[in-house]
A and B are shown apart, each in its own frame.
Chain A
Amino acid sequence: MSDRSLPLAMKEADLSRALPPAAREVWTVFRHELKHLFFSARMAVPMIVYSGFGALSVLIFLKIQDFAEKRGLHPTKLGADSEALGKLLQSFKLGGVGTAAEILRDHVPMLMLYFFVLASFFLPILVALVSFDQFSDLSTRGARFALLRVRRETYFAGKSLASLASVAGFLFAMWLVVTVVAVHRASPEDVTIALREGARGWLLMCVQALPYLALTALVSSFAKPGLAFVGTFGLWIVLWLADFFTRWLPEALQAPARAIFPSEHIAPLLSRWSPTLWSGVGALVAIAAVVYVLTALFVRVRDV
């Protein structure tokens, strides 16, 4: 074999040898899956679409801000009225006057608030495009080569983490750009706030992605890629419709019924560092955990 065609197997640090076998299996699956998922053409499409759309909408937002500024409305003043901002958030089911007051109190850049709301809205689509076929290889028999060698649980964990890391990596890149723009436009005393809000926005969007990643894992563990694609988007539509129709349930049942929908827990994430925020985070993590456990159990017992 020529040296040019293949890398030489040079001596290299392989710290994973020190890990316990199960952790080593998870790490190996994670590393290889991430490498070939994140840098694949498959990832490029949703990334270009999502980031292109995100960039375009941010530009439009900035133009509107600039326009308003020229008309004598300072950007920060756009949101200076917590009542107006509260009503706006309420119309998107993202909190109310209380949340708006917190946001204004903490000088959250409006650009970042806007991007968080917009990106949250389209996040399920990004997750579906990136990971709709996470476990479809169980149905195509493609997973047999790996499952001959590792436990199903570790394979499941490794691949799930790789999907999460892919989405997290992509969101990080997007939030980095938004943060740089926000820092560039911020007054010197607000730079720290912009940086903190960038990190917070990224982390909370990763949490938001969790239940959707878990649901794509569940759907894909049943179906081949084509069906998993249709099934995932079908599930998103069903969730959206089901959430919508809960308004006709008796008053007492509405809150518990809505609790199972991930989208219901985005509003608390806009709240500042308060119990409301943590309740939203907890709910999203809990939904993800339940779905992941169910999927793992199914993967464990199913034929491949």
Chain B
Amino acid sequence: MSELAIETTGLKRSFGAFPALRGIDLRVPAGSVFGLVGPNGAGKTTTFSILCGFLHPTEGAAKVLGHDPRDRAALSGKLGALPQDAPLPTRMSAFDALCYWGELSGLSRVDAKNDAVRWLDRVGLQEHARKKGPQLSHGMAKRVALAQAFLGDPRLVLLDEPTSGLDPKTAHEIKQIIKREAGTRTVVVSSHDLAQIEELCDSVAILDKGSVVQQGTLGDVTGRGELVRLHLADDEADQATAALSALAFVTHAAFDRAERTLEARVQGAPPEEAVPAILKAALQAGARVVGVTRGQRLEERVLELT
């Protein structure tokens, strides 16, 4: 079994009578880029807050890099996070704040300054380094908050809604930064932007009403190995549907007239064999294929499960 960066068992948390988490069992492999998705109120931010040690669970246990999330002495410098809606200090400039947090992460003063300079450069805020929290726009504040999450090169970074409320250009830039930084560490991203999660993450957990309804690799969750979709130019595909049904490894074939999509459920054949065979059968049956996709889109899967 691969090493786990995060493991939670039966994690519960209530706010008064409201159960925000009803028993979360989460397993985040070390080195992965893990997506946490679900509708509003699913428990994503509460889970994040517990993993960061900001909230205490009502029941259950969590291990972050093998430690209790509240064990700051063990996790200092190893865990970075972008908390949602946490305001930047009003009395410190962006640069001073980054230096401060860098030092708190265990860096020497010199290293903290160098890291602050490096990260302000990476998030494109060199010219605004002397601005204080209230003087920064929402997008700039988000960039500063993102920069602090990576200070000191932590092994695990938790990003709660890193692009929420940002214009498309800024959101794209932040996505690029996350892409660059992923791969060298474990990154957990919570977002409502499912296309972004699909683009960034290799594993995902879908939360709903305080529970994990599905988790695994993106391929497993969206059924990439089990579902092949042919996008057709026609609104009739009876022959092609029959041809696909006749294939030994296809358990079910159906045509969605409205979407002009021919779906084939696959079992017992690897994608590199199944996809060409399905495509060949459809073409031979006269179907005019304009596109091929594997599995559901994450959005469809989330809508199906929540």
Contacts and interface: CB of A to CB of B under 8 A. Distances in A.
Q: Which of B73, B88, B109 has the most CB of A within 10 A?
A: B109
Interface string B97-120: 100110111101111011001001
A1 B113 CA distance: 13
Contact of B129 (A6, A28, A42, A141): A6
Contacts of A304: 54-55
Contacts of A36: 89, 91-92, 96
B80 A148 contact: yes
A146 B91 contact: no
A149 B72 contact: yes
B110 A12 contact: yes
Interface string A6-38: 110111101011000110010011001000110
A152 B72 contact: yes
A36 B100 CA distance: 11
Contact of B54 (A7, A151, A301, A303): A303
Contact of A6 (B55, B72, B91, B95): B95
Contacts of B80: 148
B76 A149 contact: yes
B45 to A, nearest CB: 11
A167 B101 CA distance: 25
A141 B101 contact: no
Contact-residue bracket for chain A: 35 or more
Given A1-B117, A5-B130, A14-B109, A149 B101 contact: yes
B29 interface: no
Given A5-B130, A14-B110, A145 B91 contact: no
B221 interface: no
Interface string A168-191: 000000000000000000000000
21 contacts: A6-B117, A6-B126, A9-B110, A9-B111, A9-B114, A12-B110, A28-B103, A28-B104, A29-B104, A36-B92, A42-B91, A144-B52, A145-B97, A147-B53, A148-B79, A148-B80, A150-B72, A151-B73, A303-B56, A304-B54, A304-B55
Interface of A: 1-2, 5-7, 9-12, 14, 16-17, 21-22, 25, 28-29, 32, 36-37, 40, 42, 140-142, 144-152, 301, 303-304
Q: Which 7 A-B pairs have CB atoms at the shortest separation, nearest pair first?
A: A9-B113, A149-B104, A1-B126, A36-B91, A141-B86, A144-B86, A151-B72
